[in-house]
């Protein structure tokens, strides 16, 4: 499985994932031209076969409809996200999925599961292909039992590590925004991401990828170290940890 974060953070989110020749984009929260340019700079990238949407927030959907039309590929989303993002998806081919009901995109099997976030019907994805599985969940306020169960034993665990609690406390964000981030339908802290990683990781887990870091309320090394220490305390010293800096991109990883 090959994976590259094209962008991750409040300014936009898009993840390229490919296995056995099938490539998809998870979220398209950048201008379509930006995503097209980024993909054109990846000569090894397979052609996209679909766009999968986690939820309707602008930083995840901005370019989805336009990109779907340019490539002539479907945008997969659930009922709630389609309804809330209707204007944006206008003219694009839309495929509806239901949480808990796996669907195929080429060589990939995708299963969506609900996450708690202040959107209409937000989800994460468990994506299987080429004998490996990636758990992908960003934008959730707390790790529910279902999230922990889905994350368990995945070879790749990609989760949000949005903020450090102490940095959020002293940050210049207004209180209403701090409360939104902290709430159970807001975003995930480094400590909470570490707990998900510890719960998820097993001998099968090769890589934990931390994304959607805040540029104000977090630091890339702090997010990485928090998760690394938590895993090390459990004896999980072989897991590779990658933290993508706020609004940054990653290399193309082979997982
Ligand atoms: Zn969101
Ligand atoms: Zn977001």
- SS3 of the chain: the string is CEEEEEEECCCCCEEEEEECCEEEEECCCCCHHHHHHHHHCCCCCCCEEEEECCCCCHHHHCCHHHHHHHHCCCEEECHHHHHHCHHHHCCCCEEECCCCCCEEECCEEEEEEECCCCCCCCEEEEEEECCEEEEEECCCCCCCHHHHHHHCCCCEEEEECCECHHHHHHCCCCHHHHHHHHCCCCCCEHHHHHHHHHHHCCCCCCEEEEECCCCCCCCHHHHHHHHHHHHHHCCCCCCEEEECCCCECCCCEEC
**Domains in the chain, please, with CATH?**
140-248 (3.60.15.10)
- Cα of 235 vs centre of ligand 2, distance in Å, is 32
- Cα of 114 vs centre of ligand 2, distance in Å, is 15
Q: Which ligand is nearest to the CA of 26?
A: 2
- Cα of 212 vs centre of ligand 1, distance in Å, is 10
- Cα of 249 vs centre of ligand 2, distance in Å, is 15
Q: Which ligand is nearest to the CA of 13?
A: 2
- Cα of 55 vs centre of ligand 1, distance in Å, is 7
Q: Which ligand is nearest to the CA of 212?
A: 2
- Cα of 255 vs centre of ligand 2, distance in Å, is 24
- Cα of 56 vs centre of ligand 2, distance in Å, is 9
pTM of this prediction exceeds 0.85: yes
Q: Which ligand is nearest to the CA of 9?
A: 2
Taking only the tens of pLDDT, the chain with its 255 residues reads 999 999 999 999 999 999 999 999 999 999 999 999 999 999 989 999 999 999 999 999 999 999 999 999 999 999 999 999 999 998 999 999 999 999 999 999 999 999 999 999 999 999 999 999 999 999 999 999 999 999 998 999 999 999 999 999 999 999 999 999 999 999 999 999 999 999 999 888 999 999 999 999 999 999 999 999 999 999 999 999 999 999 999 999 999
Q: Which ligand is nearest to the CA of 60?
A: 2
């Amino acid at each position: 499985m090959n994976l590259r974060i094209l962008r991750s953070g409040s300014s936009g989110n898009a993840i390229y994932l490919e296995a056995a020749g099938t490539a998809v984009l998870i979220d398209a929260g950048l201008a379509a031209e930006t995503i097209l340019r980024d993909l054109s700079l990846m000569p090894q990238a397979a052609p996209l076969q679909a766009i999968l949407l986690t939820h309707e927030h602008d930083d995840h959907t901005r370019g989805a409809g336009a990109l779907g039309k340019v490539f002539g590929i479907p945008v997969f989303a659930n009922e709630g996200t389609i309804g809330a993002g209707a204007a944006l998806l206008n003219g694009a081919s839309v495929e509806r999925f239901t949480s808990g009901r796996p669907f195929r995109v080429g060589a990939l099997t995708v299963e969506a599961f609900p996450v708690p976030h202040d959107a209409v019907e937000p989800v994460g994805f468990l994506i299987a292909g080429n004998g490996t599985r990636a758990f992908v969940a960003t934008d959730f306020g707390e790790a529910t039992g279902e999230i922990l169960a889905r994350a368990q034993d995945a070879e790749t665990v990609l989760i949000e590590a949005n903020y450090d609690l102490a940095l959020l406390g002293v940050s210049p964000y207004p209180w209403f925004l701090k409360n939104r981030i902290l709430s159970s339908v807001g975003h995930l802290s480094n400590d909470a991401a570490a707990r998900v990683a510890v719960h998820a990781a097993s001998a099968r887990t090769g890589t934990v990828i931390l994304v959607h870091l805040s540029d104000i309320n977090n630091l890339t090394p702090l997010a990485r170290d928090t998760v690394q220490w938590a895993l090390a305390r459990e004896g999980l010293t072989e897991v590779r940890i990658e933290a993508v800096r706020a609004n940054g991109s990653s290399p193309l990883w082979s997982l």
